[in-house]
Structure 1
Amino acid sequence: MQPWELTATAAAAKLQDGSLTAEALTRSCLDRIAAQEPAVKAWIFLDPVAAIAKAREVDKAAIKGCLHGLPIGVKDMIDTADMPTTHNSPIYQGLQQGRDAACVGIARAEGAVILGKTDTVEFAAAGRRALTRNPHDLTRTPGGSSSGSAAAVAAGMVPLAFGTQTGGSTIRPGSFCGIYAMKPTHGVVNSEGAKRYSHTLDTIGWYGRAPSDLRLLAEAFRLFGLDVPLGKTVKDLRIGLLRGPNWHLAAPESQAALLLAGKRLADAGVVVEEVTLPAPFDGITEAQRIVLMGEGRGAFLAEYVSAFGKLHADFRSRVENESGITAAMMAGAYDLAGDCRRSFDAIASGYDAVLTPAAPGEAPVGRQDTGNAVFNSMWTLLHVPCIGIPCTEGPNGLPVGVQIIGQRFGDAALLDVAALVAPVIDPKLPG
C-alpha cells in the first residue's frame, strides 16, 4: 500500500510512531496528484517544492500535534499566509493576504502540511463554477461549492480537506464523491479568514475517508465534549429515520439509500424509528433561502461598488435584491429558525442521531449544475452538526450517501455515533 492510500487516521498513527515521515506522505500525495490532477482538476494552487519543504520542517518538530504530518487541502476562499486566495473570482487573482485563516492556523499549529488550495464555486456561493470533475465519472460534477476539496479526498490526492457550508456545500459534495464529510455546529469553528456570505449560515467543515478522520480535525478544534465518550455499542443506539419536508424532491436512488441505511441499521440491532417534523418545519427551507439572499446583499456590496465590471451577475443580483427580500421577511425567517432550533433539539434528544438524505441523488452531469442543497440547507439554518456517510450507488454507479444529524453542540456524540454506524451503513469503509 502506498502512503497516499492510507486514511488520515492510519497515516497519523504511523506519523506519530515514526514509521512514516511527513515528507514521504507528502511526496506520495504529490505523486497521486500528478497522476490524477490532469483529469480531475481539483487544485487551483499547488507548489510541490514548497509542500515538500514544509513537510521536512514538520518532520523536525520536537512535539507532535494531533495533525502531525498530515497533508490537508484548503478551499480557495479560506486564507493561507503563503498561498494566494482567489475565491475563484477574476477580482482576486493573485491575491495573497499574508495571514492564515483561523482554521488553517490551527491546523498548521497542530502539525498539518498545508498542501495547496482546492477549486471552489466563486466566493463559495454562485457565479463561476470550479473546473473540478467527479473522480467517479469525469462527465459529472463533484458538487459545490467545495468542489475541489471533496474531489481531492475522493481521488486519494490528500487525506483531509477543508470545505465550507452555507447551504449544502460540504455534505452534498461528500455524497456525490463517496467520502465522509462533517459540518459541525455553527460557530464552534472560528470562520475568521474565510469569505463571508452569510454570518447566520457559514460554517467551516471538512472531509476524510473514514469517521475517525473527521474526529482528528474535531480534536484540533477542541469541539465540546470530546473527552466524554458515548459509552454505547451499536445495539444500544436509537436512530430516528427522517424523510423530511423535501422528500418528494429526492430521486429514487436517494430515497432507496435512506431506507437501505435504515434497514442495515435495524438488521444490526439498532432501534430505528420513523420521525416526522411538526408543521413549522415546512417553511424552514424557504427561511434559509431568505436568510441566504438577504445577508448576501451585504456580503458582496464591497465588490459591487469597487469592481462592478468583474463581478458576476449572480452577485450583482444579490446586492440589487432582485429576490425582493424585505426586512419583515428577514425577521420572520430568523424567528422561525429560532423556534425550529429549539423544537428540533427537543425531538433529537430522544435519539442518538437522526438519519436523513444527504443529497437529492447521484451527481448531475456537467459542471454548471452542482446539485440542489435542499437536503442540507435546513440543517445549516438550524445550526446542528451533520456527518455525511457513503451508503450505496445509484443507477449510473455513482455514490449516494446519507447523513446523520445531532443536537446543537452535540458534535462529539455524533462523531461517536458515526464511528458505530458507518461500518454498518457503508460496506466500503476502509478497514
Structure 2
Amino acid sequence: MISLADLQARIEQGALSPEAAIGQSLQAIGAQDRAIGAFVRHDASARAQAAGPLRGIAVGIKDIIDTADFPTEMGAAIYRGHQPRADAPVVMALKQAGATIIGKTTTTAFAANDPTATLNPHNHAHTPGGSSSGSAAAVAAGMIPLALGTQTGGSVIRPASFCGVAAIKPSYRLLPTVGVKCFSWTLDTVGLFGAGVRDVALGLAAMTRRSDLVVPSQLAAPRIGVVTQAFAGAPEPSGAEALQRAARAAEQAGATVREIAVPDVIAEAWRIHPDVQEFEAHQSLAWEYRQNYDAMPPLLRGRLDESKGGTPAEYDAAIDVTLRARQALATVLAEVDVLLTLSAPGAAPKGLTSTGDPRYNRLWTLMGVPCVNVPTLTAEGGLPVGVTVIAGFGDDAKALAAASFVEDALRE
C-alpha cells in the first residue's frame, strides 16, 4: 500500500516530486485496476497541484459524491452519464488542501445493497465489502494513498476491515454531506481510507484544517473498554480472535483494558437503526423509487418494498431511543477513553452476491461517534480482519490517537 505519511515526508524532503507521486498512482491503476475494478473512471492525465499539504496525493472519490470533473452515476443505471455542475464541499476541501482527484471509485447502487463487480485485492474470490467498495479496494491494492467513502450502516468500517486498510468514519457532520447522494440524513457520514491510522489522520486534518487530528509521535496509553456487542449476535471465529488479539496487544503495550457492559437502551438503539434508516430512505429516494421503479437496482428496490409500511410514529419513537442512547453512551465513555469492538463478523464473504453484514457497525453510525478501523490479523485465504476504536462525539483526535496506539501495539 502507499502511505500518505511516507509520501508527504519524501515530497517535503525533496526525495520525490509531487508529479512523480501522482505518476506512481497512475502507473499502479494502469497495472492493477483491470483485475480489481475499483474505479468507475480515472484521469490518466492527472497532474499534481502546486501547493498544499496534500500536493502529490492522488485521491479516489466514491461515486455518490458530486464531482465537476467526472460524472457521478451512483452505481445506478438511472444516473448513467449524470454530470454535476459543481464539486461537493468535501471534494473542494481536498482540492484546497492540494490533493489531486484522480477518479471515481465504485459504489453499490445508491450506496445500498446491490454489489459492484469490484474484487477484494487480497483474494479475488471474495467481496471487498460495501458500499464503499472501490475506495477500500483501491487503497488496499496500492493504487492510491487516500480515498473518500460514506457510511450509513457500515459502509466505511466494514470494507476497510475486509480489505485490510485503516479508515475513519468521523463524528457526524465533521465532514459536510452536501453534494453527497442522501440515503438517510440522520446517518450518512463521509469517511476516509488510507494505508494506516496516521495516514487517514493526516488526510482528515488537511481536509478540515484541524491540526489536532494529526496523531502525535508520542502516544499515551489509553483506557480501553471492550464492547462485544452480544446483542448483535456472535461473531465468526476470526472476528472474535481479532478483538481478543487487539485487546491483548494493547494491554501488553500499557493500556488499561476491561470489558464493558452497555445499558439496555444502547442495545435497543442497535435494534431500531433500520427504522430510522429505512423511513428516511423512502423520502430521500422517493423520486427514484416512485418515478423509476423498474429501473431501480433489484436488492434496494426489494428492501424499499418491504419497508414502505414504516410510520411516522415508529420513526419518532426510534429517534427518541436514539437520543436517549446517545446520552447513555456519553456516560459509558466518561469511564474510559475509547471503546474497542468488532469491525465485522469475520473475514470477507466469498463471492460477489453480498458485501457482508454491517451488524457490528450500525449502532455506532446511529450514535454519530468517530470510529476507526485498525487492521488486526490475516485469516484463512489471506483475508484481513480489523477492529474498531470508538471515542465520544467530537473526540476524533482521541479516537485516532488510541487507534494508532492499538495499531502500533499489534506490530510489536
Question: What TM-score comes out, normalization by structure 1 length?
Answer: 0.91
Change beyond 3 A, Cα 1:329–1:115 = same
2:410 aligned with 1:425: yes
2:75 aligned with 1:79: no
2:118 aligned with 1:132: yes
Gaps of at least 5 residues in structure 1 are none
Gaps of at least 5 residues in structure 2 are none
Task: Tell me the residue number matched to 1:16.
Answer: 12
| 8 A contact 2:215–2:400 mirrored in 1 | no
Task: Tell me the residue number matched to 1:120.
Answer: 107
Matches of 1:218 and 1:291, distance apart in 2: 28
Matches of 1:291 and 1:398, distance apart in 2: 32
Matches of 1:277 and 1:309, distance apart in 2: 43
Paired letter, 1:294: F
Alignment of 1:21-170 (within 5 A): 21-49=17-45, 51=46, 54-55=47-48, 58=49, 61=50, 64-127=51-114, 129-170=115-156
Task: Tell me the residue number matched to 1:370.
Answer: 355
The 10-residue stretch of structure 1 (315-324 or 266-275) with the greater mean CA deviation from structure 2:
315-324
1:197 Cα offset (Å): 0.3
Task: Tell me the residue number matched to 1:344.
Answer: 329
Q: Percent identity?
A: 37
**What secondary structure is seen at the aligned counterpart in 2 of 1:162?**
strand
Matches of 1:250 and 1:69, distance apart in 2: 40
What's the CA shift string for 1:84-113, capped at 9, x where partnerless?
Answer: 111011011111112111100110111001
2:262 aligned with 1:262: no
Q: Give the counterpart of 1:252 among 233, 237, 248.
A: 237
| 8 A contact 2:113–2:354 mirrored in 1 | no
Matches of 1:132 and 1:178, distance apart in 2: 15
Change beyond 3 A, Cα 1:202–1:359 = same
What's the CA shift string for 1:353-376, capped at 9, x where partnerless?
Answer: 110000010000111210110000
Question: What TM-score comes out, normalization by structure 2 length?
Answer: 0.95
Matches of 1:144 and 1:229, distance apart in 2: 27
| 8 A contact 2:249–2:406 mirrored in 1 | no
2:288 aligned with 1:303: yes
Task: Tell me the residue number matched to 2:268.
Answer: 283
Change beyond 3 A, Cα 1:227–1:415 = closer
Matches of 1:93 and 1:338, distance apart in 2: 38
Task: Tell me the residue number matched to 2:181.
Answer: 195
What's the CA shift string for 1:272-323, capped at 9, x where partnerless?
Answer: 0110101122222221111111101011111234333322244445655645
What's the CA shift string for 1:105-158, capped at 9, x where partnerless?
Answer: 11011100101000110011133x211000000010000000000000000000
Alignment of 1:401-412 (within 5 A): 401-412=386-397
Change beyond 3 A, Cα 1:385–1:233 = same
Matches of 1:45 and 1:359, distance apart in 2: 29
Matches of 2:213 and 2:262, distance apart in 1: 32
| 8 A contact 2:198–2:214 mirrored in 1 | no
1:343 Cα offset (Å): 0.9
Paired letter, 1:96: Q
Change beyond 3 A, Cα 1:341–1:26 = same
| 8 A contact 2:75–2:106 mirrored in 1 | yes
1:225 Cα offset (Å): 7.8
Matches of 1:360 and 1:223, distance apart in 2: 35
1:421 Cα offset (Å): 2.1
1:28 Cα offset (Å): 1.1
Paired letter, 2:92: G
| 8 A contact 1:389–1:426 mirrored in 2 | no
Q: CA RMSD in A?
A: 1.9
Matches of 1:275 and 1:409, distance apart in 2: 21
Aligned length: 412
